[in-house]
Amino acid sequence: MLRNLRIKFVVIIMVLVGAVLVSVLGGSYVSAWQTQHDMTNEALQHSVEGSMFNLPRITMGGEEEHQDMNKRKPNMLVLAVEIDSEGVILSTNDAPLLIDSQTLSNVIDMALKSDADDGWDESIHIAWRRAQRSSGAWRVAIADTSAMDMGLRSLLLKDLGIICVAMGALLLIAIGLSTWMLKPVQTAWDQQRQFVADASHELKTPLAVIIANTQILSNDTTLSDESMRWVQGTADESKHMKNLVEELLELARTDETSSGATGAMKQEQTDFSAMVENASLEFDAIAFERGTSIEENIQSGIGVTGDPEWLERLCKILIDNACKYSEKGRPVNVVLSMQGHKCNLSVTNFGNTIDPEDLPHVFDRFYRTDKARSRDSKTSGFGLGLAIAKGIAVSHGGNITATSDADNGTTFSVTLPAHSI
């Protein structure tokens, strides 16, 4: 449980901080991209509107320009070409730029045929803008955007590098922070688990004495009927409490295995197909007494590595639970199949369905619902069976889920790592 909580904490921190970091750096990159494009467009517009051979010169430095940057014109070399409607070059400006004749021809052709007055060709790193003169000729301004494209690419790579390094550092910080924050919770959880285990062990001895004494008293023929009813009630409740103590001990053991304690669980190759089949046969008589039956669809040759005692307990909990709540005359379906490197065991009964608001809590300890897990003479329990089943599944590297509706019944599905045998 704490491991999942720690993972959720780390994921939330990574997602939130990562989203902020990506937003900030992404916004910075978009702003730089927009600024570069605005500068290029302004330089192109300046070239197509000015005099062909007397374009304004830009002075480097100067007191006036340093005082007010808004007065400075875009400092970008642009080639201006004036052409007639047939595409024949009439004149060019005196910009110190060289352009390949084929590239120039392609750009001019693109500008004359385009429906827009400007365009970009990222493949050759060129931007252009056109304007028609009063004489009918066209002026096309061409700017080399390779430096701008390289700068933006470099900025993008730097931003990606910053994000990767920052996310890596954030991951380490989040892991350390989660460990520090959850340390008191881990301590409290361990103490609670140890208390449950110790208290259960301590209760076993006095319960054994009580059960033994009530058995002796029940054989005493001198007791009146009234006294015998008191003795029998004490015997029933003591047995009931003994079952509770045993389930608490099992729950403590599943907590121990789920926390990764060494030696808490055996690791043996188990014929899981045979185990499920034997458990189904064992509950055939019980199902018959309750007016139902067990139908099997078990794929043979499925093996699971784990503790045979715990795996058998898992199967019996699910089948016993299905038999308890199955409607009379409706069968309990037990299906085991192999799915890749995992196996799926599903047990379905057609009784009262579990309400959707109760379904997420059926594996909680001591949790009950009026319809699904209420306690009566036939289905008495403590609300620990499914919690134990979940602990067994998780400790074996698997998972358990539950679904319930009127059409498909109530199904508990266990997925475990498996192999063919």
pLDDT of residue 258: 58
Q: Which of 135, 151, 167 is the last residue of a domain?
A: 151
- The answer to whether residue 259 sits within a structural domain is no
Question: Does the residue 173 lie in any domain?
Answer: no
Q: CA-CA distance, 242 to 341, in Å (whole number)? A: 39
Question: Do 247 and 385 meet the contact criterion of CB atoms below 8 Å apart?
Answer: yes
State the number of CA atoms in the 13 A half-sphere of 74 facing the CB: 17
Whole-angstrom distance, CA of residue 258 vs CA of residue 3: 10
For residue 210, tell me if it sits in a domain.
no
Range of the domain at 41: 2-57+68-151
Structural domain contains residue 221? no
Does residue 376 form part of some domain? yes
Answer for the pair 325, 410: CB distance below 8 angstroms, yes or no: yes
Question: What are the pLDDT tens digits along the chain (421 aa)?
Answer: 667 788 888 899 999 999 999 999 999 999 999 988 888 888 888 888 766 544 445 455 555 444 455 555 555 778 888 887 676 777 777 666 677 788 888 888 888 888 888 888 888 888 989 888 877 788 888 888 888 889 999 999 999 999 999 999 999 998 888 888 878 877 776 776 677 666 766 777 787 888 888 888 888 888 888 888 888 888 888 877 877 777 777 777 776 665 544 445 678 899 999 999 999 999 998 899 888 999 999 999 999 999 898 899 899 999 998 998 898 889 999 999 999 899 999 999 998 888 888 888 888 877 766 544 444 444 455 677 888 888 889 888 999 999 999 889 999 999 999 999 8
Amino acid, single-letter form, for residue 99: I
Alpha helices in 259-306 (DSSP H): 272-282, 284-289
Q: What is the pLDDT of residue 56?
A: 47
Domain membership flag for residue 209: no
Produce one character per residue of 331-354: b if its CB has 16 or more CB atoms within 10 Å, e if not: bbbbbbebeeebbbbbbbbbbbbb
Measured over the CA atoms of residue 205, residue 207, residue 208 and residue 209, the dihedral's sign is: positive
Domain CATH for 343: 3.30.565.10
Asked if residue 156 belongs to a domain, the reply is no
Evaluate whether 145 touches 128 at the Cβ level (below 8 Å).
Answer: no
| DSSP character string of 226-247 | HHHHHHHHHHHHHHHHHHHHHH
Among 89, 119, 151, residue at a domain's last position: 151
Q: What is the DSSP letter of 122?
A: T
pLDDT score recorded for residue 264: 52
For residues 137 and 276, membership in a common domain is answered with no
Provide the CATH number for the domain around residue 72: 3.40.1840.10
Contact between 349 and 326 under an 8 Å Cβ cutoff? The reply is: yes
The structural domain count of the chain equals 2
The residue out of 120, 151, 182 marking a domain boundary is 151
Q: In angstroms, rounded to a whole number, what is the distance separating the alpha carbons of residues 273 and 303?
A: 7
Task: Answer whether residue 168 is part of any domain.
Answer: no
pTM across the whole model: 0.53
